[in-house]
Amino acid sequence: MSFNIKEFDFHPACCHKGTPKKDLEPIKSLSSELLGANWPVVYILSNDTPGDKNLYVGESTSASHRMRNHVDNTIRNCFNKAKIIFDPTYNKSAVLDIEQTLINLFAADGYYDLQNANEGQSDAHDYYDRAYYQKLVQDIWQDLKKSGKLTINKDYNELVNSELFKFSPYTSLTVEQNDVCVDILNEILGSLGRGEKYVAMVQGGPGTGKSIVMMHMFHMLKNPPLPTTGGKISTKTGKADEVWQKLVDLKKGICKISEKSPLKVAYVCPMGALQSTIKTAVSACGIRRYNVVKPIDISKECDDYYDVIFVDEAHRLAHSPIGNTQKIFKDTNAKLFGAQSDVLGRYTQLDWLLKKSKCVVMVFDEGQTVRDSDITIVERDYAFKRVGVAPEKFELKGQMRCNGGSLYTDFIRQLLNPKGTIPTRPDVGSYDIQVFDFAVDMIDEICNLDVTNKLCRVATGFGWQWVAKRYDNAKKTFPLNWNDPKNFPARTAHYIKTLSPKDGKISIGKHEYVRNIDPDRWMVECDPHEIGCVHTTQGFDFNYIGVIFGPEIDFDPEKGEIIVNYDKIADKNSLSNASVVDKRKRETMTPAQIASREKQITEDVLNVYNVLLTRGIRGCYMWAYNKNMQDYLKQVFSSTMLMP
């Protein structure tokens, strides 16, 4: 290891009154260190008093100079220990990156209260040998844990795969993401000051960091940061001071507008699995879980309005009732828009949020609408028109999730829409893509990868049902501790034995599987033999994803097109009108209506697989239930070009 962690006493009590700063301890001893006076370092300030949970992680190009400044800082005078991480290979980009990653790790570990909550973040950018320094963070973390001088509960691999790490508002932003945050927040502050309604729409493909941007803005408004001085953001353009000043001015604006009373802010998640994860993430950084809500929760507060509502995955907002929610939908519309609004579908969940807020910031990707109740672009734009506001659009382009980059994510769209020709596959380097001959082999390999890498999952589309009531009944009869990971294999076996195919059991050849047993926790905790769906994967990322192309999706070799078998769609909760092929329904529809409905279902199904195929960070494995689809995949990926 090239790094060396040294501990120094740090406290005003160590500094004798009247002594020149240059002679104060620990500054004097730091100045004599080989890399203590003029070299990039990362440091950790802590207190060895039992029960003290304050912590600060920082970086500097001069340890002695930075400690000298901290001695006079009243916010830092609670600390008595400084751990300095020296490394002769460090450069400015490396220490900024390591500092930010350590902040994320401590936040995700959950023991310490980070003073960094009030600091700006450096931007995330690539630099020479970044992979080496990121690997070094793992060694630093394990070294700190092993030393016992800090309370560290979890190993590095466990943390980086946790939702607290992935959705942390302390995550470094790219220059592009930082600019979007600053621009939107400035517009919000201006609109609130003028008493005007404002809507911002953040767009971008899968993996461009839309949720991270939303979390940063939400966190800044819920926990107004202290304006600070000094530059810390390094940009590719070299305008560090300018970028930093923008952030300082923004913080001052947030504090000023919050002087009279805190802003009322909510984070809306239409999907239960993502909502549960975001609740866990925000509670780790001092925000109450009740600030993360469902759309219906916003509509209940008739006499109160939110200053700002952030809506993640807004393309999943509903334009019509889902399942047995018809009465709720009707009553909500009547309550918000009057008795004449009781025609189902006239007002959408987006209308509810626009009605109940002064400013709305939303993530919207029409390529990720996956069920017939999801709001359409036409309905979205009509909701904007009703309140007389044109949304300001911001687009994120940088690929942050997939190691295959935008080449891979763009290619997936071509794969699902070949237009009569076999698409030309891109060279995505070491991104691991494999088409398996047998589903059981793919699932077993994903399970093996989950042991070594964690967070590896298998998911499929709407070809198999998932009946919540049947799953709940199976839970009641499970004899062991249902939440204990040690019992997950037994839990899976119990569900396979208890459930039937109409309940959600998946049979492929001689092998049987079940859908995600605990939808809200499947992403972070489950037996990897469980097979997920779009509702438990959308908004998340995985180290490896295995995708089963179900019986509802196939390939027509004569036309060179992907086709959807409407009668094979079993998950009717997702596509409740997929049974348009039902003879009784077809008799009441015109040919044009049938064609339109089939077109919409096809788009939804293709969007489902677009979501699933772009969840993997390191790789994506595939297998298809139908032979023609399997042959198509093997033809596309037959070359070793995409293999690691």
Does position 161 have pLDDT exceeding 60, yes or no?
yes
Position 232 scores a pLDDT of 41
Q: Which residue has the higher pLDDT, 638 or 629?
A: 629
Q: Which residue has the higher pLDDT, 38 or 628?
A: 628
Per-residue pLDDT reduced to its tens digit, 569-611: 887 666 655 555 455 666 777 888 878 888 888 999 999 999 9
Domains of the chain by residue range: 4-160, 175-396, 405-642
373 burial (CB, 10 Å; 0-12 / 13-18 / 19+) is buried
Per-residue pLDDT reduced to its tens digit, 481-523: 998 999 999 999 999 999 988 888 999 999 999 999 998 889 8
| Residue 140, φ and ψ in degrees, nearest 5 | -60, -45
Q: Is the peptide bond before 26 cis (omega within 30 degrees of 0)?
A: yes
Does position 239 have pLDDT exceeding 50, yes or no?
no
Position 586 scores a pLDDT of 66
User: Do the domains 175-396 and 4-160 match in fold?
Assistant: no
348 CB neighbour count, 10 Å cutoff: 24
What is the value of pTM for the model shown? 0.77
Position 228 scores a pLDDT of 46
- Mean pLDDT (whole number) for 442-454: 94
- Mean pLDDT (whole number) for 524-540: 91
Q: Which residue has the higher pLDDT, 260 or 262?
A: 262
Please determine, looking at this structure, whether the domain spanning 175-396 carries the CATH number 3.40.50.300: yes
Half-sphere exposure of 1 (CA within 13 A, CB side): 14
- Mean pLDDT (whole number) for 361-383: 88
Position 214 scores a pLDDT of 92
DSSP string covering 301-346? -TT--EEEEEETTGGG-BSS--TT-HHHHHHHHHHHH-GGG-STTS
What is the share, in percent, of the chain residues with pLDDT greater than 70?
A: 85
Does position 133 have pLDDT exceeding 70, yes or no?
yes
Per-residue pLDDT reduced to its tens digit, 73-126: 777 778 888 899 999 999 988 888 899 889 888 888 888 888 875 444 455 556
In words, the CATH class of domain 4-160 is alpha beta
601 CB neighbour count, 10 Å cutoff: 21
Per-residue pLDDT reduced to its tens digit, 40-59: 999 999 988 888 898 999 99
Does position 220 have pLDDT exceeding 80, yes or no?
yes
Q: Which tokens hold the place of 117?
A: 């909550």
